A and B are shown apart, each in its own frame.
Chain A
């Protein structure tokens, strides 16, 4: 006690007090702020490795400093979520440049993806990767998700997420195998032709409801095989192929002479 009191008027006292206050405030904030950061926090090493990966795989199109160019968007401010989505679904690195980025087997493994995401996130503030809670379908309302999906998503992705056509060869892909995290990230960042559904227009809970709906559709149909869930056209094709096919076969059998 005496030692502490003796140092009360030390010239570094204000510095210590401010540091202490910052620590307390920061700690309180970290404890109570809504967690939109992912579970593993990016380390400096991640950012460094990510930078190396970036230069090797992305800089040729996106520029050495991710500034982009005429036909290539800048990545400053797109956030970790965008990178996790694009790289995680294999869309990036892109097969060929154009408005449609095809999903394909991911070129980077999970660690590399995380490192790339960390690097891009370090370039400027942007949407971060969602937590497991935020994308847990069990916690979402299927009914609310259905209503939101119908109004905002079905016109491109089809009523149950079987995919749909856009103009000039572009398309909205099927959602039947997309992971909940990637669905969340796509809504949040608006990749390629997809519009942006930030957390102001579609809250985080509403996004989780949409995920719950999309995942529930994977149980299939109560009526039997889904025939691709493509609607009346596929139903018409099968009515002809199976219905008329079998019945014409039966008619031929009926009209044929018996042995």
Chain B
């Protein structure tokens, strides 16, 4: 008994294969294995938010008018009735209040933008703390950092499009920052705005960037990002059976088609829920852009708060006049130098770590953060600085909510920006080392069962249950890097070696990273610690190197 359906599919597949040779692709990819861990889905949240942005964004482009030409609004928004405003602002009002589904699409779009950046940051933190940026993924890390910057650009150009007072003041601040750049600043300002601020060109220019240039770049870089994941295969957490030479998990078809595909619908669904219930960016409350009004609580979207906080914390005395020329360090330092330092740290980190370990093996098994205390500490310190800057950007809201003085908050954060990361680095490193020691204890002595046994001679001991092989393997399968060893300053014939000074500096950095370390337990140590198989006595633990 033959049915027509299978042969139709077979005929279609044959037609395609004869023209594309697609059979080998299906063979290699249909059952591609991906490891299973929830933290691997964070990048997907970003990817799916981006897809949602494209879908809802397309809807918006059908109604938004990217023009600064003036029009008088007459419509359902009573507070705006009869007001003169740009076409950009008026079309935003119309699509929010007169187009069915318009407000929903707009709100989903903006929530998706906020979520896109949040997911990028969370995903980046996961990649950083697990060391997934190590060889061969350094290039993909760079691609990811570029995507983060493109995301910032997309968000900034996007929320400025409605031409309202809040985002307009943001553009004014941008103009002020650009003007502060030495020599070319005033010309750059003219370039961006097509004349003096605000001019009549900026909204259509931002539209072109937001709808065409930045999405095209994001799509290209995302394609490269995913291509690398396919090429390198995904990393995996340490565990039984997982090595640098395999990948253990489930096949793409059907498991990940269902899980990852399903997750797209969940991300979209959650965003739809947010757009349906939570108001966001009500531009009609801010009003059409006018250089005169400003609202209390003037902040950009959350992902730009670190720049905003940076500008708020910097004291003003730093502007200097040299030979009649004004050098606005009070703006250049917070708006150019500090973000520059932060981004440079991100971009170069994989290469610095590679240099201080001289490790050129491929790594596909992830690190547990506790096993790399200094990296984890540095990551937490960086995050601390970022959060302090974001908090500084919200200092007026904190002042009103917690009944504190705005000026005191600013002063406290000025100090905390430098002191905070040092403190959190130190605390984190110590916690990591302690967790490693705890792991050693656990491997050497097993789980405490709470059962007390009393021997005939009166000795009390607690019964310990030894770890299973899987539990133990997780805790011993890591390498504790040692500080670099460098060749001596002079060679065998007493000739000074070129590059010695540089080597010394790298060695010092390597010591900072790896001097304090805890080694994994070895079978010989376990043997010494063991008494019998069932009952353990609290003999002295093996020497810890620290």
A residues with a Cβ closer than 8 A to B are 142-143, 145-147, 150-151, 154-160, 162-169, 171-172, 213, 216-217, 221-227, 229-240, 242-244, 246-248, 250-256
Contacts and interface: CB of A to CB of B under 8 A. Distances in A.
Nearest to A145: B79
Given A236-B305, A244-B122, A247-B115, 12 more contacts: A155-B296, A159-B166, A165-B399, A169-B405, A227-B278, A229-B285, A232-B302, A242-B274, A243-B115, A243-B270, A251-B38, A251-B263
B287 A146 contact: yes
A223 B280 contact: yes
B406 interface: yes
B266 A224 contact: no
Interface in B86-118: 96-97, 103, 107, 110-111, 114-115, 118
Given A163-B400, A165-B400, A158 B41 contact: no
22 contacts: A143-B78, A143-B83, A151-B293, A159-B295, A159-B296, A164-B296, A165-B296, A165-B397, A167-B406, A213-B79, A217-B285, A222-B97, A223-B107, A224-B276, A227-B279, A233-B302, A233-B305, A242-B274, A243-B115, A243-B274, A251-B38, A256-B38
Contacts of B20: none
A159 B80 CA distance: 13
B317 interface: no
Given A164-B297, A167-B406, A254-B259, A159 B285 contact: yes
A145 B262 CA distance: 49
B357 to A, nearest CB: 30
B83 A238 contact: no
Contacts of B266: 247, 250
Nearest to B294: A155
Residue among B280, B301, B405 with the highest chain A CB neighbour number at 10 A: B280
A40 to B, nearest CB: 34
Residue among B42, B79, B107, B395 with the highest chain A CB neighbour number at 10 A: B79
A169 B394 CA distance: 15
Contacts of A147: 83, 287
A235 B118 CA distance: 12
Interface string B270-290: 110010111111100111001
Nearest to B42: A251
Contacts of B290: 150-151
A183 B37 CA distance: 57
A224 B279 contact: yes
The number of chain B residues touching the other chain, given as a range, is 35 or more
B287 A159 contact: yes
B329 interface: no
B80 A235 contact: no
Contacts of B293: 150-151, 154-155
A169 B280 contact: no
Contacts of A227: 278-279
Contact of A239 (B38, B40, B114, B277): B114
B36 interface: yes
A142 B96 contact: no
Contacts of A255: 36-41
Interface in B231-252: none
A147 B270 CA distance: 36
Contacts of B388: none
Interface in B145-182: 165-166
B82 interface: yes
B151 to A, nearest CB: 14
Contacts of B110: 235
B468 interface: no
A158 B394 contact: no
B277 A224 contact: yes
Given A164-B400, A255-B41, A231 B36 contact: no
Interface of B: 36-42, 45, 78-83, 96-97, 103, 107, 110-111, 114-115, 118-119, 122, 165-166, 259, 262-263, 266-267, 270-271, 274, 276-282, 285-287, 290, 292-303, 305, 393-397, 399-400, 403-408
A216 B400 contact: no
Contacts of A158: 295-297
Nearest to A156: B296
A239 B38 CA distance: 20
Given A150-B293, A240-B118, A235 B263 contact: no
A233 B282 contact: no
Given A154-B294, A167-B407, A231 B166 contact: yes
B278 A224 contact: yes
Nearest to B96: A222
A133 B535 CA distance: 90
Contacts of A247: 45, 115, 119, 266-267, 270
A236 B403 CA distance: 21
Contact of B396 (A164, A226, A234): A164
A253 B96 CA distance: 35
Residue among A172, A239, A246 with the highest chain B CB neighbour number at 10 A: A239
Nearest to B76: A222
A231 B297 contact: yes
Nearest to A220: B279
Given A216-B79, A255-B37, A168 B406 contact: yes
Nearest to A166: B406
B296 A154 contact: yes
Q: Which 7 A-B pairs have the closest CB atoms?
A: A164-B296, A236-B302, A223-B279, A255-B38, A239-B114, A169-B405, A165-B396
B302 A239 contact: yes
A237 B401 CA distance: 14
Nearest to A226: B279
Contacts of A151: 290, 292-293
Contacts of B79: 142-143, 145-146, 213, 216
A246 B78 CA distance: 36
Contacts of A155: 293-296
A166 to B, nearest CB: 7
Residue among A143, A165, A168, A250 with the highest chain B CB neighbour number at 10 A: A165
Nearest to A234: B397
Contact of B118 (A163, A239, A252): A239
A222 B279 contact: yes
Residue among B266, B271, B278, B287 with the highest chain A CB neighbour number at 10 A: B278
Contacts of B262: 254
A150 B266 CA distance: 40
B256 to A, nearest CB: 10
Nearest to A242: B274
A173 B149 CA distance: 38
Contacts of A165: 296, 395-397, 399-400, 406
